[in-house]
Amino acid sequence: MSITSPDFTAPMSSFTLFVWIWIGIACLTFLSLFSITAPYGRHQRTGWGITIDNRLGWILMEVISPLTLLFFFLTGSQPKSKVVWVLVGLWVLHYINRSLIFPFRLRTDGKRMPLSIALMAVFFNLVNGFINGYYWGHIAEPYSDAWLTDWRFIVGMGLFIVGAFVNIQSDEILLRLRENNPNTYKIPQGGLYGWISSPNYFGEMVEWLGFALMAWSLPALAFALWTIANLFPRAIANHQWYLSKFTDYPPERKAVIPFIW
């Protein structure tokens, strides 16, 4: 790039305005999800319309993200720098796991989710894929190779890798709990479960905050904020669910941020 500090005196483009509005909606969503927990998984409940197979829902919701990102990135005429290929590659790798591997490992046989929730997630992934892909494909000045050694890229990459590791390890622990008992819930142990109830969410939030640092762009920041908006309130709801379901739930365990929350 030319990664430069944002010029707050420059007139705002309609794209930038769109991303800021999207960030505003994330803030409202964050607040509202403390009172309305999305009704899938352990928080599944009736009254949300027709339902679809849980596994199919996960594939549909998640595969849209890398497809949209790649479409807008590849159809744009902006030069494709090494750095941007790394960023796009990490995004696609994450979503290959989330949309094509994770759903086939779920042990939620017979479980369903509301179509309305799947469609909301499709919309969320569509917009986030669009703003990031469009930005890199059509708008952003190419990153220079020097960005590869900038502290933001290096620290962000470190956070992304640690976050992805924690996310995948924690999901793996949950999946193994179901090996002989599909659709039952147990108290997870191991990894960061010693400290928090939803380390998979903690890992995902760290991962995308790291990504936003690496990318140093408003659309990547918007996606990180949306991830927090979705997962932080749900982690609080998961923690309360564990406390109400298991009388022997470890009292020292926090909800989502080790030692703090």
Least distance to ligand NDP from the beta carbon of 49, Å? 18
- Kindly tell me which residue out of 63, 88, 204, 236 binds ligand NDP, with binding defined by CB under 6 A: 204
Instruction: By CB under 6 A, tell whether 171 contacts ligand NDP.
Output: yes
Neighbouring CB atoms inside 10 A of 147's CB total 21
Q: CB–CB of 151/162 below 8 Å?
A: no
By C-beta, is 86 or 174 nearer to ligand NDP?
174
Q: Which residues lie closer than 8 Å to 184 by C-beta, 6 or more apart?
A: 178
d(CA 223, CA 212): 8
d(CA 261, CA 244): 17
Q: Interface mask (CB under 6 A) for ligand NDP, residues 111-140, using x and -?
A: x-----------------------------
The DSSP bridge partners found for residue 112 are 53
Q: CB–CB of 134/247 below 8 Å?
A: no
d(CA 100, CA 51): 21
51-53 and 112-114 beta bridge pairing? antiparallel
Q: Which residues inside 10-69 make contact with ligand NDP, applying CB under 6 A?
A: 41-42
Q: Which residues inside 88-107 make contact with ligand NDP, applying CB under 6 A?
A: 106
Instruction: By CB under 6 A, tell whether 188 contacts ligand NDP.
Output: yes
Least distance to ligand NDP from the beta carbon of 7, Å? 30
Place of tokens 């995948």: 168
Instruction: By CB under 6 A, tell whether 167 contacts ligand NDP.
Output: yes
By C-beta, is 59 or 148 nearer to ligand NDP?
59
Token pair, residue 234, equals: 């749900």
Place of tokens 């696609």: 92
Q: CB–CB of 33/235 below 8 Å?
A: no
Question: Of the listed pieces 16-24, 140-148, 157-165, 177-185, which binds ligand NDP according to CB under 6 A?
Answer: 177-185
Question: Of the listed pieces 67-75, 83-91, 154-162, 167-175, which binds ligand NDP according to CB under 6 A?
Answer: 167-175
Q: CB–CB of 224/209 below 8 Å?
A: yes
Give the total of residues touching ligand NDP (CB under 6 A).
20
- Please identify the residue of the shown chain whose CB is closest to the bound ligand NDP: 41
Least distance to ligand NDP from the beta carbon of 228, Å? 8
By the criterion CB under 6 A, which residues form the site for ligand NDP? 41-42, 106, 108, 111, 167, 171, 174, 177-178, 183, 185-186, 188, 200-201, 204, 227, 230-231
